[in-house]
Amino acid sequence: MLFDLAAPGRKRLIQAVYLVLAVVLVGGLIFFGVGSGLPGVFDGNNQGGGGDLAKEQRERVERLEKEVVQKPRDGKVLAALASARYDIAVGQIDPDTGAVSDEARRGFQGAADAWTRYLATDPERVDETTAKKMVTVFSPSILNKPGQWADAQAVVTAAAIARAERAGTRPPFAQYLALMQANLAADRKRQAKINGQDAIAAARPNQRTAVRQQVEALEKGGKDAALGQGQATATTPQTITLPDE
C-alpha cells in the first residue's frame, strides 16, 4: 500500500506524490476554482450565455457605470464595477477550449480599468474579494501585467496571513509561493526571495523539504518561467499537509 511507511523508500515516494498534488492544486485554482471560493475560469456554471444570469450581469454593470458617473471617487462602487465586469468577461471565455476571445479580453481590460481607478481612491482596506479576481485578470494568461498581478496577489496573500494569525494557525505556505511566482514575473527578485523564505518557514517540519524544492524550482526558472507558468497562479492556495516522517 502507498502509505505503508515501513516499506523501503516509501516516505520519499509519498513526499514526491504530495509535492505533485500541491502543484496540481495550485494550478487548478484559477481555471477550475478549486478551493478558492471563487468561480474558476473554466467553470461551466459561470457561462452566462443568453440566459437570465447574463442579462442580470449586464444590467448590474450598466447600473454601476451610471453610479460611477455620479460618484467617480466612490471606492465601493468602483470595486463593484471591476468585479461585475470580470464576471461578464469570464462568461465570454470558451468553456470547451478556454480560449479568451477579443470580447472577453476587452471585458477584462474594463475590469482592470475600474480596479485601477478604485486603487486611486486610496481605500483604507483594499477589497480582497475583487483582488482575487484581479489576480486572474493581470496574470500572463489574460492581460499579462506582472506588476499589477503581483500587487493584487499581495493583497490576497496578506489577507490570508492575517486570517491565519487571528486563528492562531500557520500562514498558508502556498500563498507565499503564489506571491513569489508573481513577484518573479514582475522581476522583483528581492521580494520573491523573501516570499520563498516565508513559504519554507510557514511549512510544517515534515513539509519543508517539499516546499523548499518548489522554492528552488521557482528561483531556478526565474522571470521567464514565472511568466510561462502564469496560468497556474493560485488565488487562494490551500496548505498541503505532508505525512509525518
Amino acid at 153: Q
* 227 pLDDT tier (thresholds 50, 70, 90): confident
On whether the CB atoms of residues 210 and 242 are closer than 8 A, the answer is yes
Angle, nearest 10°, between helix axes 128-138 and 102-120?
130
- 30, three cell numbers: 484559477
What's the distance, CA 168 to chain centroid? 23
Instruction: Quote the pLDDT of residue 225.
Output: 80
Instruction: Tell which wins on pLDDT, 79 or 36.
Output: 79
pLDDT tens track for 41-81: 444 444 444 568 888 999 999 999 999 999 999 999 999 99
Q: Is 6 left (phi over 0), alpha (psi -120 to 50) or beta?
A: alpha
Domain spans of the chain, in order of start: 15-232
Mean pLDDT (whole number) for 225-240: 50
The domain defined by 15-232 folds into: 1.25.40
pLDDT tens track for 143-177: 999 999 999 999 999 999 999 999 999 999 999 99
Report the sign of the C-alpha dihedral through residues 87, 95, 108, 235, in that order.
Answer: positive
pLDDT value at 214 more than 50: yes
Alpha helix ranges (H) inside 33-145: 52-70, 75-91, 102-120, 128-138
Q: Of the given ranges (23-27, 82-86, 100-104, 107-111), which has the lowest mean pLDDT?
A: 23-27
- For residue 54, which phi and psi values (nearest 5 degrees)? -60, -40
Grid-cell match 494569525, residue found? 165
